[in-house]
Amino acid sequence: MSLQLCLLETGETIIADIREAINPESNESLGYLVTNPFKVTHIINNKVNVAEMTEDTDTSPEDASSLAYSIWAPLSRQNTFNFHKDFVRVIYDPDRAVADQYTDILTKWLEEHTLVVETDKHNTVTSMGGYKWIHKNLGSNWK
């Protein structure tokens, strides 16, 4: 997985598994294959008005900001997208803490949104062959 952050033409920042698509004949970039993109929003929690600062003003960087993650295309049935090369402005590696947060969030999201289908093998009907097998074993009257 090539986990990277992207600044998009829309101004959004996403984190995803990003792979570049290259034209094999001209060796030019066609765009990017983006898998499991999440929008990353940087939230400033501690704003300080310099004009109103006193000795008691909390200027500590601790809890001064946070990150919020949301699925990038929540109405889509797919989780892999083709981004045109002009849609992506900047691609860069995430900080280790951001990468770990994304991995944890993606794992939880996939667990909650992956449908597991279990079949009852005792009640499942299977055939042993195609048309020729059915015709040979069931006769020409089968339709």
Cβ(78)–Cβ(33) under 8 Å? Answer: no
Cβ(7)–Cβ(89) under 8 Å? Answer: yes
- The predicted pLDDT at position 114 comes to 82
- The predicted pLDDT at position 133 comes to 65
Residue 134 pLDDT class (50, 70, 90 cuts): low
Q: In 10 A of CB 102, how many CB atoms?
A: 21
- Mean pLDDT calculated for residue range 93-103: 95
Strands 80-84 and 29-44: antiparallel
> What is the pTM (predicted TM-score) of this model?
0.70
